[in-house]
Amino acid sequence: MFCWGSWGNTQKLASKSWRYELFYWDYVIGILILSLVFGFTLGSFGEHGRGFVEDLAQVNSGNFWSAFIGGIIFNASNILLASAISLAGMSVAFPVGVGLALVLGVFINYIGAPKGDPIILFLGVALIMVAIVFNGVASGKMTKSDEESKTKKKGLIVAICAGVLMSFFYRFVAAAMDLENLESPTAGMATPYSALFIFSLGIFASNFIFNTIVMKKPFVGEPVSYSQYFKGHIKTHVVGLLGGIIWGLGTACSYIAAGKAGPAISYALGQGATMIAAMWGVFIWKEFKGASKTINALLTLMFVLFITGLVMIIISGGN
């Protein structure tokens, strides 16, 4: 949850001198690097189960393509989310986009592998839905000009599209893993480390299509070229790589947790990143600086409802 809600800070840092389309290449490469590092360390050490290379070699084609497609779906959604951040800011794009993904994703993942008390789980999700509405209302009240209003509305629409797409990716990856026995999965199924690597391959491969399109037809600003990417400063590239590594770390933890908590709860808690991102946007990046008492009250209610909803999701896992 902390990692998924914090990677956006690297995009904010890079955006001072770097377009998000260029940043996104480093971000994707960072995810792929993290998956390999984890595979050859945590995924290979220990006394039980299959090592990373051995496990990759025995994954059947159905499970391989399931995790790979999960990466493609995630990448399409995350490029849209990155676009929404550049248009509407972290404290708006994350709660709307990722919050919607949380709500829809919990239903999708619970149907695929029911685990936890459904009443408490879905009540927690309902509270988060209300929190998302409050965040959207607060954002609308902060708009100062017609041009800014149009940009934010565009960002909200892009964030909604990102959220709908993002709700599907986790189920494809979870389906490739034997969640009942992550230590020694059924033959043909993947460990979390192998699933993460295959998922990362899907992200990387699809980025040549998705990000190339966005570079040539950006949501905002002039088109950018690959030559601009290679002219970037090493420090700027490192910031993007760090963003991918942070997100990848959170994803690895989420896949490992799914074995005990179940995919619906693990996914829901991870997508609680919306609250973390909103905190960064509100308190660090000051995206609601100078807000009225009404807006501050809406933001306070958003945080209270989000935290309460997350607590209920955690409690549901113990039933």
Alpha-carbon gap, residue 105 to 264, rounded angstroms: 7
Which of 302, 277, 315 has its CA nearest to residue 124? 315
Q: Which two tokens stand for residue 119?
A: 């009443």
Question: How much is the pLDDT for 64?
Answer: 98
- From the list 33, 25, 17, 132, the residue with the least C-alpha distance to 78 is 25
181-197 tens-digit pLDDT: 888 899 999 999 999 99
Give 190's DSSP letter.
Answer: B
Answer left, alpha or beta for residue 223, where phi above 0 means left and psi between -120 and 50 means alpha: beta
pLDDT at 81: 85
pLDDT of 133-149, one tens digit each? 887 788 777 766 677 77
User: Any bridge partners for residue 62, and if so which?
Assistant: none
* Residue 282: pLDDT band with limits 50, 70, 90: confident
Of the pLDDT bands very low, low, confident and very high (cuts 50, 70, 90), residue 239 is very high
DSSP, collapsed to helix, strand or coil, labels residue 177 as strand
pLDDT for 100 equals 84
Boundaries of domain holding 198: 2-316
Per-residue model confidence (pLDDT) at position 145:
66
Q: What's the pLDDT tens digit per position in 45-81?
A: 988 889 999 999 999 999 999 999 999 999 999 899 8
User: How far apart, in whole angstroms, are the C-alpha atoms of residue 172 and residue 174?
Assistant: 6
Q: What pLDDT, on the 0 to 100 scale, is given for residue 55? A: 95
Please check the confidence at residue 318 and state whether its pLDDT lies above 70.
no
Given a cut of 70, whether residue 13 has pLDDT beyond it is: yes
At residue 269, the pLDDT reads 81
**138: its two tokens:** 């607060």
pLDDT of res. 315: 87
- DSSP strands (E only) in 150-270: none
Higher pLDDT pick, 274 / 101: 101
Phi, psi (degrees; rounded to nearest 5) at 144: -110, -25
What distance in Å separates the CA atoms of residue 72 and residue 65, rounded to the nearest whole number?
Answer: 10
**Better-scored residue on pLDDT, 103 or 177:** 177
Q: Are 167 and 108 in contact (CB under 8 A)?
A: yes
If one counts the domains in the chain, the total is 1
Kindly tell me if the per-residue pLDDT of 250 is higher than 90. yes
CA 161 – CA 172 distance, rounded (Å): 19
Contact 80, 215 (CB under 8 A): no
